[in-house]
Structure 1
Amino acid sequence: MSSPPDDYTATLPRKRMGSAVLLRDHDGRILLVEPTYKDYWELPGGAVDADESPYDAAVRELAEELGLAVTPGRLLVVDWVPPRAGRTEGVMFVYDGGILETSQTDEIRLPPQELRSWAWSTLPQAQQRLSPLLARRAAAALESVTDSGTAYLEGGNQVGRP
């Protein structure tokens, strides 16, 4: 979709966006995936494509990464990530994927070129597997599940909360 030449919004800066989903089991553990191209684990999700909503990206990524047809619930986290070497600034969204049943986890199929494995993780295990930024984001998402709010983060750190 192209913009008319006189569309001022076309001249505005663009931000990288990503979406992830917090999936839990009945024991409160969260599902993490191990990418083949990174040294740390992640929540299932990925980049938002052009002209795609962050929510639609979350649904698509669950299907592509895990082979699951899950309808995410509410937004748990919005995290603005500042630029760093090799990466532009970005806005990341985390949605509530609810609790997966054993029948659903039995259906998980990973794309071998993209993901090495998946695992249920307690928060302390997740904090060891995830990068520090992603660990803060996952902890905030887990907290948002229980407090029914949406956390706003910058670089994985809470903003606007005591």
Structure 2
Amino acid sequence: MPWDRTQFTTPPRRRIAGQAVLIHPQDRTVLLLELAHHPCLALPGGHSRSDEEPRATVLRLVRAQLGLALPFTGADLATVDYSRAKPEAGVCEGYNFVFARELTLAQAVMARPHEAAGPELRAIHWVRVAELPTVCADYHVRRVTEAASWLADAASAVLLNNGALA
């Protein structure tokens, strides 16, 4: 039987995103964004551009959204979360690379909505991990929880599938 190359000529569409779990050094709260188009609070970061690796996405968007130039490296990768496609909503499958950092006190104080983010970014909020279910979508709660646990334990990265351990 010949090798089927149809997937090579028409691969499925995919979204790639880079997100940041940023922890306040004094009270261990997590920085979340209030976005105009989101019904709940969201992590800093967002979709990667074409030919942009997720780490570069996080660097670019955290700077644009919060005015912070944080030196994310591969060692900061806390988890990768696969999200299934939702054809009824016009959403293709995606991979979310979640990086985690404990900020310095100076960085936490400097974090604020940056003008480069435009009017879409309404505010930032520091939220306790225990309060996440009241302000975030379930998949964000799981991403933050896994990343915060990874940061506390200095463990290896965790692979998630739609927010659940894979």
Q: What is the TM-score when the length of structure 1 is the normalising length?
A: 0.85
Q: Which residue of 1 aligns with 2:128?
A: 122
The equivalent residue for 2:66 is 66
1:68–1:105 Cα change, 3 Å: same
Q: Residue by residue, what CA displacement relative to the aligned partner does 1:62-101 show, whole Å, maximum 9, x if unpaired?
A: 0111111111242001000011232111000111232232
Whether the aligned pair in 1 keeps the contact of 2:113 and 2:123 (CA below 8 Å) is: no
Q: Show structure 1 runs of 4+ deviating over 4 A.
A: none
8 Å Cα contact 1:46-1:61 kept in structure 2: yes
Check conservation: 1:78, 1:94, Cα contact below 8 A.
Answer: yes
How big is the shift at 1:108? 2.5
**Number of equivalenced pairs:** 152
Q: CA deviation at 1:134?
A: 1.0
Find the counterpart in structure 2 of residue 155 from structure 1: 162
Q: TM-score, normalised by structure 2?
A: 0.83
Q: What is the CA distance between 1:131 and its match in structure 2? A: 0.5
Q: Is residue 2:48 matched to residue 1:44? A: no
Contact 1:48 1:54 in 2 (8 A): yes
Q: Which runs of 5+ in 1 are unaligned?
A: 1-7
Shift of 1:11: 3.6
**RMSD of equivalent CA atoms:** 1.8
CA distance in 2: counterparts of 1:107 and 1:153, whole angstroms: 28
Q: 1:107 to 1:156 in 2, by over 3 A?
A: closer
8 Å Cα contact 1:24-1:98 kept in structure 2: yes
More helix by share: 2
Q: Is it true that 1:53 corresponds to 2:57 in the alignment? A: no
Please give the alpha-carbon distance, in whole angstroms, between the structure 2 residues aligned to 1:106 and 1:12: 42
Q: Does 1:18 align with 2:17?
A: yes
Q: Within 2, Cα distance between the matches of 1:89 and 1:118?
A: 28
Segments of structure 2 that go 5 or more residues without pairing to the other structure are: 1-6
